[in-house]
Structures are given as structure tokens and as C-alpha cells.
A and B are shown apart, each in its own frame.
Chain A
């Protein structure tokens, strides 16, 4: 297959053509270009499309991270690359609220997402619906709270050890 890198506008157009109005307009900042998946019902379908379609072929999820926006919403950022095929890259975001932190899992689409989603769950408490094994990955199993949330306060004691300095 001849490599044919696409711009974010072209990719967004492909997604719109297939699924309709499920993503936002592409946002372009000096450091990043991304679009947000507004209809989470379609998140898995869009991701699967991005991986499988001949024109996009995003066969590699090279990073997945959680974000606490500080305004009562959480985000997940997906970094995709078409490794060895087209060579283009893409950033996709998905948002959820702190009250209902649920986002469909993409672990079945890219195996990399398995541990990355566990990490985002560990630090931000984002529940990935459909994840095969959603447990804490870095903090101890019995850790309380999600430490990278903006409103996180350290506990006084952990297993009898004083936590604050």
C-alpha cells in the first residue's frame, strides 16, 4: 500500500461521512491538533473504524492518558499513529463528568490500552466500560481516592505510617 498521510481535517471528514455528527470540529493549537468524540456511544465504533479503514489504518495507540480539567470534567486523550503504513498521527479526546466518570474501553481494539486504561483508572478514577480487568496498576490495591485528581487530599495514615511530612 502506498503511504498516504491524511490531515486531521480529512480524517474528521471521513469519520463524519461514516457516522454523522459524533465528533467536534478539529481544534488546532500550536502544540496539538485533536478532535473530541462528543457521542460516547460511538467511541468504540469510531476507534475501530480508525484502526481498520484502509485510508486511516491507525494500527498503534502510542499513549492514552487521563486528565482532570479542574472544572468538574475529566478527559481521556488517545494518541494514535499509523505505524509503517501511512505514518500519520492523530489525537482524539473524550470527556466525562466527575459525577459519572464512565468512558467506553478501547482495550479490545488496541491491547496497549489495557494497562494505560488501568493507569487512568488508578489516578483519575475513570471507569472504562468493557475493560477486561479494571484494577489499580500502580497504587496499592487498597489505596483510597484517586491521587491525580485536583481535589485529592492525602490521608493522614496509610497502614499505620504517617503520610504528610
Chain B
């Protein structure tokens, strides 16, 4: 869809599916609910601020659940707060997405064993679409999570089931091991360069 502007310049006519157009407009204006629960929220605020500037993605926090599409659960969810989180989620209009930010919201984090007051994962209260690991996750990771939600929206169909979309996306994704083990193109160059030097050294040693 980033080709839109170039298309406008050429002929002024675009042929697209309504579905794509709607998805594109929705994923370009994901408005998160403005609330934070603990230390992760600081990182979320940093992501909203000028260095990382979430607004360039059309993401900026709204102070009412009625106007929000995305809920970023940033921080420790206590049992006392869980009911409020649930109510806020229910007040959001559909379609709505939930991003669980940080270990606390994912699974209880540092409080998983002795935190009598901590919900061991916000998914015990509301359905979660994307989990961002970290304690706290860096702003880059949060942006990565938000882009995952964009991917999800891009794939959605009228009257389709979100679970099906997730399955389709999962089929597309590469296994983590491959991504981790894959050689970076620059890295390949570098290691080649090193090999060369070593052989050169050996050669010079031999000639000497």
C-alpha cells in the first residue's frame, strides 16, 4: 500500500479491494488505550515520546476506551486491577486488539511464584493477540509488537475469524532457530575477509 502515492501521481485511478482499503486505513491508525500499570509503562511512554515517535505510525494514545482499537497492557496486572482492565477491554469497540507488554503481563514476570496479588498473565482475564517479551521490553520491541498487530489487521477478511488469520500468519513465519542461526550478509563478508587474512599470514609464514 505504500505505492499508493506513486499511483496517484501517474493516473489518479486505483483499483483495490474494499477489504484492503479498510484494513489499510485501520492499520494506519491504531489508537491504543492510554494507561500503564507498572515499570513497563515508562518504556511505553518513551516509545510514545519524540525519540521513537509512535505517531509516525498513526499510533497515539487515547484517553477513552470508546476511541481505542488497541490495548497495550504495560506492566504488572494485580487482581485488584484485573477487573478494571477487563472492564476497559469490554468498553472498547470492536474490532479490538490486545498487546501484552512485558513479562509481568505475559506470565507474572518476577512475581510468578511469590506474588500473591499478581495475575499470572493478563490472558487469564482478556484474550491477548500479541505478546512482547522483556522486562521491560525496549521501545524497538514494543514497536515490533505493534507491527505484528498491523500484520494481523492486513490479513483480515470480512466476516473472517481472527484465529484463522493467526494460523495463516503462523504458517508464513520462519522458525525461530533459522532466523537466529541465519548468517547475516555482512557477517559472511567479514568472516571471509578474516579467512583471507589468516591464510595470508600462513602464506607469509611459509615463505619466511
Instruction: Please report A residues at the B interface, Cβ cutoff 8 Å.
Output: 139-140, 147, 152, 154, 158-159, 161-165
Contact = CB atoms under 8 A, between A and B. Distances in A.
A154 B112 CA distance: 12
A66 to B, nearest CB: 16
Nearest to B80: A140
26 contacts: A139-B80, A139-B117, A140-B79, A140-B80, A147-B116, A147-B117, A152-B116, A154-B116, A158-B79, A159-B79, A159-B82, A159-B83, A161-B79, A161-B82, A161-B119, A161-B124, A161-B125, A162-B124, A163-B79, A163-B116, A163-B120, A164-B120, A165-B108, A165-B112, A165-B113, A165-B120
A38 to B, nearest CB: 33
- Range class of the B interface residue count: 10 to 19
Interface string B104-133: 000110001100110110001100000000
Contacts of A140: 79-80
A148 B148 CA distance: 40
Chain A to chain B: the 5 pairs with minimum beta-carbon distance, closest first: A147-B116, A165-B120, A165-B112, A154-B116, A140-B80
Contacts of B108: 165
A158 B120 CA distance: 12
